[in-house]
Structure 1
Amino acid sequence: MIDPLAEVVTLLQPSLRRSKLVSAAGSWGVRQAEQGNPVYCLILEGSCRLTLGDEEPMALQAGDFVLIPAWRDMLLSGNEPPRPEDIDRHPVELANGEHRQGTPEGPHEVRFLAGLCEFGSPDAALLVSLLPRVVLVRDEPRLSTLVQLASDEARAQRPAREVVLANLLEVLLIEALRSTADASPTQGLLRGLADARVGTAIRHMHESPARPWTVAELARESAMSRSAFFERFSREVGVAPMEYLLSWRMALAKDLLRRRDGSVAEVAERVGYGSASTFSVAFSRHVGVSPAVYGKSASAPVAA
């Protein structure tokens, strides 16, 4: 059966935009001011605190990997609240390329890799809405090897270090999403997949997006009554079943049109519409332009 999380990650087209190796001591704080991109942090040594908006600070320790798929007000700081004048102070760049925050001399209290990722898909906002607001991975044996490799690579001055780090961090990003699929605290795809009944319905929709699904049929596949299924799906995923299906069909259609993988009529058939005209009306309502116009204006290269 098709893996919905793998499909979402593939369509997101994650990549590393930039990263920094940072060490810090004393009073310091880094506030993320750029919006629209996922932020990550991998703690290599020591400990620090992460504060999201008005929430209570989150203690981070060596080996923790944090991913925030959609930027929000974020402050990374030492274990003691920083003085206002020490927040966003320009770091000192050391000879090894490391950026030092807080007290410039002496031993560091924490060392971490931090930076911005990038989702290449024009549908990133839709797809990110299916993910948790924040992903924290710790004490996860599967990730220990990746964390160690990234840590070793960050400390070394080997040729092509940035290329290796970029690829390691992309894998870490995907593994982080996979590892939280069974315990996501927020509504979205991961929490839906963790629910046996709701997860069954999601997998069926991804496996056969062209099938003329109804709520009753999905409920039957999930061995639930129609009303109980509708309420449970909406509670776990955050949207109604048919709304999720429509959004997924449109994401698939946009990807096919961007890659020019078939005519409008063929794309319509592949995403569950009986005619090109019906599909065009639905697509135009959802996207704001017709499939033909979208396909011509898309920037992706023609598929071979």
Structure 2
Amino acid sequence: MTDPFAEVVTLLQPVMRFSKVVTAGGRWRVNRPATGSPFYCAVLEGSSRLNVAGQALTLHAGDFVLVPAAFEIDSSSLEAPPEAEMSPVEVADGRSRVGDPDGPTDYRALIGHCAFASPDAALLVSLLPDVVYVRDEPRLTTLVGLVGNEARGARPARDVVLERLLEVLFIDALRCAGATAPTGLVRGLADPRIAPVLRRIHESPADAWTVVRMAHEAALSRSAFFERFTRVVGAAPMEYLLTWRMAMARQLLRRDGAGVASVAEQVGYGSASAFSVAFARHVGQPPARYARAVG
């Protein structure tokens, strides 16, 4: 059966930017501007506060946070200082210190930034939660440790290994979040009525989908299904279908020799003209021009 998690993460093409261990002591605060880079943090020791995307989280050892989109992030000790934020100071390769440099260490975390190589990143990230927060999952901490070790090494095939590790890390974080995610694909796949519909859409995106057919797959009335899908996924059923079809279309158009008519058929449009109108409205330019530009 098609796995929507794997499809979305594979299309995103996560690549490593950097990973480092941050230690802290005393009272401290660090502010990270919205740089556009996805961010993750695995707390190895101690506790901290994290404010991101309107959420205030208290993190403890074993917790993992993944922020797929670009948001300003404010991180601090539990008793944050009132003064302006501090900047981490690099003390060794891949290691930084924040707070009292001479005091004892009471906090340690592995943090990292990555990037999405896909030109459709913004479109695909819209299918994910703003923040993925997982508590006490040692497997994730182990995976982040492997990413950090590989990033700081100079072993053969380093970039290939990092790409695979990041895909596993993203997928594992998303599926661990499950029903705790507020909205998005993650929450939808944890819902027993919505999950079968999402899997069928990803399995057969070219089918003649309607809200009535989706409701039948979910064994719900049309109105109950529409309300539940929109609340859980954060987008109306046909809006989600369109988003996924356009992501697939853009990927297909980037392949050599993929004609507009062929792509239209593969993503569920009966004619190239109908597909061209939908694509231009959603992407901002006709598919033929898009294919030439990315080619």
Q: TM-score, normalised by structure 2?
A: 0.89
| Separation in 2, partners of 1:297, 1:2 | 30
Q: Name the SS for the 1:289 alignment partner.
A: coil
Identity of aligned residues (%): 57
Q: Indicate whether 1:207 and 2:167 are aligned.
A: no
How big is each residue's C-alpha offset from its partner over 1:267-302, in whole Å with a ceiling of 9 and x where there is no partner?
111001111111111111111111110001015xxx
Distance in 2 (CA, whole Å) between partners of 1:267 and 1:50 is 43
Q: Deviations over 1:63-122 (max 9, x none)?
A: 22111111323111112112324x133x33224542111111243111212232211222
Any idea what SS the aligned residue of 1:256 has? helix
Per-residue deviation, 1:174: 2.4
Q: Distance in 1 between matches of 2:68 and 2:152?
A: 29
Cα RMSD (Å): 2.5
Label 1:287 to 1:109 Cα distance change in 2 as closer, same or farther (>3 A). Answer: same
1:20 aligns to what?
20
Counterpart of 1:61 in structure 2 is 60
Partner residue of 1:72? Answer: 71
Residue 176 and residue 28 in structure 1: after superposition, are their counterparts in 2 closer, same or farther (change >3 A)? same
Match of 2:170 in 1: 173
SS of the residue 2:280 aligns to: helix
Aligned counterpart for 1:278 among listed residues 274, 277, 286: 274
* Cα distance, 1:141–1:78 mapped onto 2, change above 3 Å: closer
**Alignment-derived partner of residue 29 in structure 1:** 29
Q: Is the 8 A contact 1:16 1:170 kept in 2?
A: no
**Aligned pair in 2 of structure 1 residues 179, 249: CA closer, same or farther (>3 Å)?**
same
**1:112 and 2:109 aligned:** yes
Change (3 A) 1:41 1:165: farther
Distance 1:146 1:248 in 2: 28
Residue deviations 1:196-229 (CA, integer Å, cap 9, x gap): 1111111111111111111111111221221211
Runs of 4 or more off by more than 4 Å in structure 1?
Answer: 147-151, 156-170
Aligned counterpart in structure 2 of residue 268 of structure 1, from 245, 264, 270: 264
Mapped to 2, the partners of 1:66 and 1:179 lie a distance apart of 11
Cross-structure match for 2:99: 102
Counterpart-to-counterpart distance in 2, 1:158 and 1:24: 24
1:243-289 superposed Cα distances (whole Å, 9 cap, x missing partner): 11111111100011112362111111100111111111111111111
2:20, 2:96 within 8 Å by CA — same for their partners in 1?
yes
CA shift in 2, pair 1:176/1:54, >3 Å: closer
- Structure-2 change in CA distance of 1:110 and 1:169 (3 Å): farther
2:244 aligned residue: 248
> Is contact 2:29–2:77 with CA below 8 Å preserved after alignment?
yes
Mapped partners of 1:197, 1:297: distance in 2: 40
Partners of 1:290 and 1:166 lie apart in 2 by: 32
CA 1:112 to 1:160, structure 2 compared with 1: closer, same or farther past 3 Å? farther
Task: State the SS of the aligned residue for 1:180.
Answer: helix
How many residues are matched?
293
Cα distance in 2, alignment partners of residues 248 and 259 from structure 1: 17
SS at 1:249 equivalent: helix
Give TM-score scaled by structure 1 length: 0.87
Amino acid at match of 1:8: V
Q: 2:136 aligns with which of 126, 135, 139?
A: 139
What residue ranges of structure 2 are gaps of 5+ in the alignment? Answer: none
SS state of the match for residue 79, structure 1? Answer: coil
